[in-house]
Every structure is written in structure tokens, then in C-alpha cells.
Amino acid sequence: MSYTTLGKRVCVYISEADRYHHHPLAEAILEAAREEGIAGASAVRGIEGFGPSGRLETTRLLSSSDNLPIVLTFVDEEHRIDRLLPILERMVSEGLITEETVELQVHRDTDAHPLDDDE
């Protein structure tokens, strides 16, 4: 089964040092997204980056940064992302959340459930 629909992509920019209730924030966010039934999520750890402070965090030799950037990306239909956004806003005290409309081209086996199977 294949179909095209509109959806949303959300990216959350945080650092690996960020915490939520004494746990790594990235892990807590991924768990919240999974609990909300988000169709897909990825966490990518950057090798170098900086935030509002302007301080460059890097994995280069002779640098001992434990505060590298992490980007979490979520893609799903609009109604699920809209449920996730207020949760993200509560969890992220320092960082950046972006949201954009995207075209989803969904390709699934005929036995698999469609993205909107919870309605």
C-alpha cells in the first residue's frame, strides 16, 4: 500500500548534557514520542556545534566536550505531532524546536497498519 498525505516534521535541537528528571533529555523525549505513537523518530549526535553561548563544542583531538549537540527529528501526520508539541515544550527548557509541513509518501506492506490507525 502506498499513499501521499501532508504531515509535519519537528526537529529538537538540544545538547547531550541536558537532563529531564535526572535522565538524559534526548532519551526522555524519544520515550515520550514513542508513548504518543509517533510514526518515526531519530536522534543524531553532532560532532561539532554551538548554541546561543557561541561556545564551540567539538570532538576534535585535545578537546574534552561532554556537551555536543543532539538533533531529534520526528515525522508523522499532523494530529499526532500536534499532540507531541506541548509535551516537548514542557520538557525542553533550553534548546530550539522547529516545525514544518511536509509531504509524506508512505509505503507499507499491505499487512502493516496505516499511520492514522489510532483514529
43: in domain: yes
Query: What pLDDT is stored for residue 116 in this prediction?
Result: 53
90-111 pLDDT tens trace: 999 999 999 999 999 888 876 6
117: in domain: no
116: in domain: no
101: in domain: yes
The amino acid sitting at 94 is E
Q: How many domains does the chain have?
A: 1
**Spatial CB neighbours of 41, under 8 Å, sequence gap ≥ 6:** 30, 33, 34, 72, 73, 74
100: in domain: yes
pTM, 2 dp: 0.82
Domain assignment of residue 93, given as a range: 2-107
* H/E element, 58: strand 57-58
119: in domain: no
